[in-house]
Structure formats: structure tokens, C-alpha cells
Amino acid sequence: MLIRKPKKISESEITPYEMYLDRRKFIGQAGRVALLAAVAPGALVAGDLTGEEAEAAVIGSQGDELTPFKHVTEYNNFYEFGTGKADPARNAGDFRTRPWTVAIEGQCERPGDYAIEDILGRFPSEERVYRLRCVEAWSMVIPWMGFPLKDLLAWVQPTSRAKYVEFTTLHDPDQMPGQRRRVLDWPYVEGLRLDEAMHPLTLMATGLYGQELPNQNGAPLRLVVPWKYGFKSIKSIVRIRLVEGMPSSSWNGLAPTEYGFFANVNPEVDHPRWSQARERRLGEIRRRPTLMFNGYADEVASLYESLDLLRWF
């Protein structure tokens, strides 16, 4: 079977920000014919549109400008490579992402160890672009490449006993110098409710800005949950486990009064040590009001209708 992979390119070859926003040049040069763009406030499939409508879907996101590639790749939280924001870009250059295997375990009909090539071959992602906001202590707007997690879960067929999905990052202190320090209880783990994992905005990201996912951004496979704070979007995943009970999560386990399991973006719930009512977008000086569910309330608020968001933060 022929497996197509996104082309590896140097930073000098990356389409400039202004050209990326020129939809005619971008589509013409990229040669894409079936782009999927998840845009706020909803998800649009470009293949269902024609002409200028499809082009507008690719670049549309309530007027949000894309965060420059330099900021996206040089200012990261990835404690496996260091706690400083510049540490991941500095320390992850030689990180080996091949060979790479993802173990899928637990309450599903197709458990097994799957090579990343098999996953990418089954769920090709180089022709899908998702323009999504992401929030940590700062915020970004990133053109992700990837595929909905629900596609992978549907293929492995969760059993009726599966209620949650647990994710685990690679544990390799030889490659990940941050794991040589007990900053967290390694390996990093995170989890979602099954209905959150099955939402179409929950992505398995394999690239950004038209190239393979950089090491410092979670290569070769990471989670993106755009209505939650960034620590939920676990990087460099090696295990996905479907389970009956709420799984552990690294930051919630370390400081449960500061980091809730759900981690939904909620400006009404402050972190004990700072306000979350306003955010700063990378590349900007001014702060802006934080939006409930990071601006995706129309899409995801129904998931939490029975949940007290002041208690289950």
C-alpha cells in the first residue's frame, strides 16, 4: 500500500503568513482539492462548497489572524524537553519519531500496536486543514493538519463499557531531558470523556502550517482539544486506552485544586494564582477577554449541560 506523507520542508520554504492568507495563491500552490476547515463558530467541509465559498471556509475564523509560524514553533509548553518556553525548540531537534508505535488498548474491539505509518495511511491528513484557536497562558490560532479522533475511535470500535479515553506520552529520558527531573510524575497522561473524544473538533494533529508536526509541537501525533486549556492537548502519544472510569491526568494529579480534569476554558473560574478572564495572543501586546469554551460554546456547551462548571473545572 502506498502511504503518502506530508513533505518535510525547511522553515525558509514555508509559505509566508501574508501569502497563506491569500487564498487563491495558497490553494493554487498547495494543490489541495479537498481541504477540511474547522472554523469558528462551526465546522465546514470545503468539499461540500464550491469556488469562493470553499476558499473562504479555509481561511475563515471570525476574523482571527493566524499566529506566525515562528511563535507557534518557538514558544511552547512541552516539559519533557524543559520547563522554559524556548526549551522544547532548543532540545527537541534530535528527537526520533521513527519508528513509532501507538498502542490502542482497553475497551475496544480492535486493540493492538499500530505503526504510525499505518495510522496515517488509514487516516490521511495532509489534505485537511483545521484553523483553530488554542489557549494556554497565552493563545494562538493555528492551521493544523490532522484527522478527527472520532474516526480512529470508530475504527477501533469502543465497547459499551468504554466511558473515557486515556492518552500517554512517550517516556524516554535519554531523548527527553526534561524527564530526568521530577517536575511531573512521568510519563505524562491525560484523558477525555468518550463524548468529548468523539466530538468532531477533537483532533489528532499530525502537522501544522503545511508541514509535518515539528518535534517541539508534539510529533508525530498529538491531541488538539480547542475548547480546553492547552495542558489537555497531550503530545507525542504512544498509547490510547479506552476505560470505564475517569483516568488520571498529570496536572490534575499534581495539583487538583489548580488544574481540573475537564480544563474547559471558562473565564468565570480563576486559577488560584491568576485570573483567567483575559488572555494574550502570541505576537500581540494587548490582552483580550477570554471566551467561554474558547469561543466554541455553540459547538460544545451541550456536552456539559448537566455539569456544574464551577465545581468540575
Question: For residue range 78-132, what is the model confidence (pLDDT) as tens digits?
Answer: 999 999 999 999 999 999 999 999 999 999 999 999 999 999 999 987 657 888 9
| Poorest-pLDDT segment among 56-60, 125-129, 162-166, 265-269 | 56-60
Q: Is residue 240 part of a domain?
A: yes
| Poorest-pLDDT segment among 24-28, 186-190, 287-291 | 24-28
Most confident of 19-28, 47-56, 130-139, 192-201: 192-201
Q: Is residue 125 part of a domain?
A: yes
Residues 5-20: pLDDT tens digits?
334 434 443 444 344 4
pLDDT value of position 137: 72
Q: Is residue 4 part of a domain?
A: no
Over range 187-199, report the average pLDDT. 98
Q: Which amino acid is at 148?
A: P
In the predicted structure, residue 30 carries a pLDDT above the cut 70: no
Nearest-10 crossing angle of helices 23-30, 51-59: 100
Are 178 and 87 in contact by the 8 Å Cβ rule? The answer is yes
Q: Is residue 6 part of a domain?
A: no
Residues 277-295: pLDDT tens digits?
999 999 999 999 999 999 9
Can you give the CATH number for the domain in which 248 is found?
3.90.420.10
The mean of the pLDDT values for the chain is 84
Q: Is residue 312 part of a domain?
A: no
In the predicted structure, residue 188 carries a pLDDT above the cut 50: yes
Percent of the chain with pLDDT over 70: 79
Stretch (H or E) spanning 238: strand 237-243
Over range 177-191, report the average pLDDT. 97
Q: Is residue 60 part of a domain?
A: yes
pLDDT value of position 10: 43
Q: Is residue 51 part of a domain?
A: yes
Q: Is residue 42 part of a domain?
A: yes
Reported pTM:
0.82
Residues 197-246: pLDDT tens digits?
999 999 999 999 989 999 999 999 999 999 999 999 999 999 999 999 99
pLDDT value of position 126: 61
In the predicted structure, residue 35 carries a pLDDT above the cut 50: no
Q: Domain range spanning residue 222?
A: 11-304
* Structural domains of the chain, count: 1
pLDDT value of position 87: 98
